[in-house]
Structure 1
Amino acid sequence: MRGTLAILMLLIALDLQAENRLAPPPEAGLWRSESRLITDNEGSLRRMRSVQPGLTFSHVDYRILHETARRVAQPKIELVCLTPSQASELGSHHSLHNILQRKLPECDLSLQKVGRSTVQVRGDCQDPERFNGKMEGLVEFVSTHEIHASFLGRAPTPGQPESNSPSGLIIQQHEVHRWASPDCGQYEPHDRMAF
């Protein structure tokens, strides 16, 4: 009986760990990170809002916004080396929350796993210099070699009272991270992951 209880407790602990992991986990090695930032992309948002009001978007909506970003914004490209322990850490819900919080320290973020490989991000950001408003997004682990992230925020136009800025400022950040090689070559891993 005691052995059965121990096995049951172990299975529950493993199940809780699995629930907080994203699948598929990313692979260690050299990753090419491409990000695009768009501000005031009101046209595509207005078309989407006529179909779906509010700030909540579906996976399809984020893909449409991402494709628009690819057409209109120049990418910022960075090569990042991930160690095996960092790659394993990136697949953890808790670690992903910490990584995003470091990228957006001015935002109070909440993450919710919405699928086996997707996390929904919501935040309230308070930085008058950069972005002061609500944001939401998705991080999707497409495969062991590809991760997509899209974030959308709306805020009052800087320097104007909310009443004078009915449409506000719209900011989109779209990222595609693709595995490039198992060998990082000349690129050293960072102490703290900023993927």
Structure 2
Amino acid sequence: MFSIKTLQSWLKTTAIISATSLSFGANAGLMGDSVEGALSTGNQTITTQFSSPAIVDAGVEFEGVMTDVFNQVWSISVDIADTSFSVSITESTRNGDGNVSSGNDLLMISLWDLVAVDEVILTDYTCSSTGSSCDWGGNNSHLATLDYTPTSLSLGFNALYDGETYTFSTLSQADVPAPLTIGLMLIGLAGVRAARGRK
């Protein structure tokens, strides 16, 4: 049989191990990773391709330029953070009135060599043009496709409006504690509470 002291010691050790496991899971992210990126399009012209690879740190990782069939010039930037990234789209030839629409391959952004990204979700969309571009776009997202694997991501847009910013969150399995870890943590916390109650 176990003595109360042995059980208390085991429960305290379990609590420490569980807390350590949770802290390691919270550190998963993209900061410091080397990431590849590229722009592509179905029927427009990529005039400046992303410079790749890029190291994820503070600031914009990728910048590129696309010229559409109406000679509007679009600047596309991707700013990657630890667990999120944003895509900003601006047009420089029509003073805030730039817009173009086409099929789902109007503009495509690909990122790869990502580390442990299990899910990517669109969490915010804003449009803040100096002209009337956002009004024409209805202030709605024009993200047509969002495909990802643990190491790659592909975004497709069917329209572009000057002043758009898309914000995405990335989740990995390491961000969510495994059920076994949660159970061990609860047992450990119960042991700590029991140990305090017996003093």
Q: What TM-score bracket applies, with the shorter chain setting the length?
A: 0.3 to 0.5
- Higher RCO (C-alpha under 8 Å, 6+ residues apart): 1
Which is higher, the Rg of structure 1 or of structure 2? 2
TM-score (norm 1): 0.35
Structure 2 length as normaliser, TM-score? 0.35
Determine which structure has the larger helix proportion and give its number. Answer: 1
